[in-house]
Amino acid sequence: MTHIAIAGAGIGGLTAAVALGRAGHDVTVYEQAPEFARVGADINLTPNAVCGLDGIGAALRESAAQPTHRISRTWDTGEETSRIALSETALDRYGAPQLTMHRADLMTALESAAVAEPTVAIEFGAKVTTVDPTTATIEFADHAAASADVVIGADGIHSAIRTACFGPDDPDFTGVVAYRAVVPAERLAGVPNLGAFTKWWGPDPDTQIVTFPLNRGRDIFVFATTPRSTWTAESWTMPGDPDELRALYREFHPEARALLDGCDTVLASALYVRDPLPAWSMGAVTLLGDACHPMMPFMAQGAGQAVEDAVVLARCIDTVPGIPAALATYEAARRERTARIQVGSRNNNWLKDSGSGDWVYEYNPWTVPLGDAAVASPA
């Protein structure tokens, strides 16, 4: 049994904890928040992410919606430039559907799966300040230090573990601000395709509106981006101004504007980019998810890549003899794919006119080959 410490009880950290706990390992997750809270808005889980989460038994479908199609439309004329069937078609093609849900409902499902594992413990109010990669010892702001056989930095975009191993990062503001809102579907009577994932491509690459159903279709999530020359904070939880949002898109097609008219409250966040990291591991410490490859939201892969990392890392720790070899195998299996998606997300042209998305969606983290170092692989 390997003793594993995970910094961060987010999407990737909890997925890794459950996968490792199910394999019989002893896992402690350290989370800075005092408890789980209903924060954020949407999570868009493409089939590759759903496949990873199905493998740990996360109960997603009670609260999720299944978008019927992925539709691209032109901002002013409303012309449809592409339409890809999802739902049952995605299930047949990839073995899992696309699911869209409130982030808090996903966190609830992951928390339930984690507390059901007898060898997994979650400590709240444990803010990691640094790690020693040689001894795999974590230090905390207000908590006794803790050691493990391996430390996983799943502590998100501002990762303290990444900073301790590789120094502070220097993200670039993209000049793009994103607005997020959740609108009751009953306010949007007459707006077509509410059951679909729809992207309104704007007059320039940075201006767009994306919508998809949440809460089994009772709500519609609205995500809109716009160019902005200055911004200071990188946050998921900063309030924005709904009237400012409506004014920015006043030239859009009436069906797109109707979606914004339904917004009472919005969150606003600046979008930052980082280049792919040259390495994720040092000594007995490694990173996963946003800690090592934060990405723009335009391919909807932030959560999906964290889930894929978590499953592949758990398989490596479980099947590759020796922690250094396990972490090297993990990086070799994951770095090229995540870098390609990080760069693709920045380009913001994913599935604009054509293409199937197969290379992203058909990836199964439970069966993808791990390389020669793995001696066995759980199903």
Ligand X SMILES: Cc1cc2nc3c(=O)[nH]c(=O)nc-3n(C[C@H](O)[C@H](O)[C@H](O)COP(=O)(O)OP(=O)(O)OC[C@H]3O[C@@H](n4cnc5c(N)ncnc54)[C@H](O)[C@@H]3O)c2cc1C
Measured from the CB atom, the residue of 310 and 374 that comes closer to ligand X is 310
- As a whole number of angstroms, the distance between CA 64 and CA 102 comes to 8
Measured from the CB atom, the residue of 33 and 368 that comes closer to ligand X is 33
Q: Which of 291, 26, 284 is CA-nearest to residue 161? A: 291
- As a whole number of angstroms, the distance between CA 330 and CA 324 comes to 10
- Report the residue closest to ligand X, judged by CB: 10
Give how far the C-alpha of residue 55 lies from the chain's centroid of Cα atoms, to the nearest Å.
17
Contacts (Cβ under 8 Å, ≥6 apart) of 174: 206, 270, 271, 272, 273, 296, 346
- As a whole number of angstroms, the distance between CA 299 and CA 70 comes to 12
Contact present, 356 and 84 (Cβ < 8 Å) = yes
Measured from the CB atom, the residue of 168 and 369 that comes closer to ligand X is 168
- As a whole number of angstroms, the distance between CA 123 and CA 119 comes to 13
Residues in contact with ligand X, shown as a per-residue x/- string from 231 to 250 under the rule CB under 6 A: -----xx-------------
Measured from the CB atom, the residue of 40 and 227 that comes closer to ligand X is 40
Measured from the CB atom, the residue of 33 and 325 that comes closer to ligand X is 33
Which of the ranges 3-11, 46-54, 64-72, 203-211 carries the binding residues for ligand X, by CB under 6 A?
A: 3-11
Measured from the CB atom, the residue of 122 and 185 that comes closer to ligand X is 122
Measured from the CB atom, the residue of 33 and 84 that comes closer to ligand X is 33
- As a whole number of angstroms, the distance between CA 51 and CA 56 comes to 9
The strand pair at 197-201 and 146-147 is best described as: unpaired
Q: Which of 154, 166, 115, 118 is CA-nearest to residue 32? A: 154
Residues in contact with ligand X, shown as a per-residue x/- string from 59 to 88 under the rule CB under 6 A: ------------------------------
Measured from the CB atom, the residue of 307 and 374 that comes closer to ligand X is 307
Measured from the CB atom, the residue of 153 and 262 that comes closer to ligand X is 153
Q: Within 289-318, which residues bind ligand X (CB under 6 A)?
A: 289-291, 297, 302-303, 306
Which of the ranges 18-26, 226-234, 286-294, 324-332 carries the binding residues for ligand X, by CB under 6 A?
A: 286-294
Using CB under 6 A as the binding criterion, the count of chain residues that bind ligand X stands at 33
**Closest approach of Cβ 76 to ligand X, in Å?**
27
Q: Which of 116, 102, 119, 124 is CA-nearest to residue 31? A: 124
Contact present, 317 and 2 (Cβ < 8 Å) = yes
Residues in contact with ligand X, shown as a per-residue x/- string from 148 to 187 under the rule CB under 6 A: ------xxx---x-------------------x-------
**Closest approach of Cβ 251 to ligand X, in Å?**
26
Establish if 219 lies at the interface with ligand X (CB under 6 A).
Answer: no
**Closest approach of Cβ 195 to ligand X, in Å?**
20
Measured from the CB atom, the residue of 4 and 306 that comes closer to ligand X is 306
Q: Within 7-46, which residues bind ligand X (CB under 6 A)?
A: 7-13, 30-33, 39-43
- As a whole number of angstroms, the distance between CA 356 and CA 344 comes to 15
Tokens 């740990």 found at? 56
Which of the ranges 68-76, 162-170, 241-249, 283-291 carries the binding residues for ligand X, by CB under 6 A?
A: 283-291
Tokens 């996963």 found at? 288
**Closest approach of Cβ 77 to ligand X, in Å?**
29
Reduced to 3 states, what is the DSSP secondary structure of residue 203? coil
SS3 per-residue string spanning 91-150: HHHHCCCCEEEEHHHHHHHHHHHHHCCCCEEEECCCCEEEEECCCCEEEECCCCCEECCE
Q: Within 96-135, which residues bind ligand X (CB under 6 A)?
A: 103, 127-128
Q: Within 331-360, which residues bind ligand X (CB under 6 A)?
A: none
Given the rule CB under 6 A, which residues bind ligand X?
7-13, 30-33, 39-43, 103, 127-128, 154-156, 160, 180, 236-237, 289-291, 297, 302-303, 306
